[in-house]
Amino acid sequence: MGKLERQQKEKDILEAAIKLFSSKGYHTTKMDEVAKQAKMSKGLIYFYYKNKEDLYMAVTKKAFEELKNIFKETQKAKGKNGISLITDLVNNFLSFSKGNRMYHEAILNFMGIMALYNDNSKRKQIDPLILESPHFSHLLEIHHEPAKIGIQIISLGVRDGSMRPDLQPEITFYTIWTMLIGYERLRGPIEYEHKEVKISQENWKNGFIKLLHDMLKGTIQAQKPKAVQGSLF
């Protein structure tokens, strides 16, 4: 079997898994169903992916690659300052999380796994089949790549003056990402018609971006801090 044929079969299996994970959920999807969806034998599926956990890690890796591409495309926009790029990144991330629910959930699931992985006393709680997956090992190497791009955008904003000069890019970006994850999680409650708090989706998003701008821009009098001074981020 040639390299191109192998890559095509891996792609077909991933696409089948993504479709099933999206419609049925990861836990209820069976490898037999993936094989049927991909129009391959179950044995061939296991030739490419050792088990369902390995396959899910491959899908998670794909999710991070797609997210990185969105970040990269946002960063490539010409003629925009840092604050404009981070605004575009917010909108693109929210569109990604809403339009690619399975990818987004896979990314959040991996973040939860990492919380266990980083604590030696809790690492044994992770399914051993996940830890054995070569795709998990690859994820350990690449999962920070989208954030690196976000940090570069914040650094640009500090340099071009569209953001406060006292911001620390790394902490600032991860704070924004935390806010975005929380925003996405609250979509359901906000969109619920019978909620007691009256707020529209449009007003909420506009207010979110305005608050983000206020945090990043600060006041006109903002100055670079001295070594002994702290900063908000």
Chain position carrying tokens 């996940």: 130
As a whole number of angstroms, the distance between CA 138 and CA 142 comes to 6
Under 8 Å between Cβ of 158 and 233: no
Nearest in space to 63 (alpha carbons), one of 33, 28, 108, 30: 108
Average pLDDT, the chain: 90
Span 61-90, average pLDDT: 96
* Alpha carbon distance 22, 45 (integer Å): 19
d(CA 115, CA 123): 9
pLDDT at 156: 97
Lookup result for tokens 């019978």: 194
Span(s) in the chain for CATH 1.10.357.10: 51-217
Fold category of 51-217 in CATH = Tetracycline Repressor; domain 2 (1.10.357)
Instruction: Determine contact, residues 5/48, Cβ cutoff 8 Å.
Output: no
Q: How many CA atoms lie within 13 A of 96 on its CB side?
A: 24
Residue 190 has pLDDT above 80, yes or no: no
User: Is the pLDDT at 115 greater than 50, yes or no?
Assistant: yes
Cα distances from 207 to residues 99, 144, 191, in angstroms, run 22, 28, 15
Q: How far is CA 222 from CA 76, 117, 163, 197, in A?
A: 29, 40, 10, 35
Domain(s) labelled CATH 1.10.10.60 in the chain stretch across 1-49
Q: Whose CA is closest to 103, among 76, 46, 65, 148?
A: 65
3-class DSSP assignment, residue 9:
helix
pTM of the entire predicted model: 0.87
Q: Which CATH number fits domain 1-49: 1.10.10.60, 1.10.10.10, 1.20.5.510, 3.30.470.30?
A: 1.10.10.60
Give the pLDDT of residue 222. Answer: 44
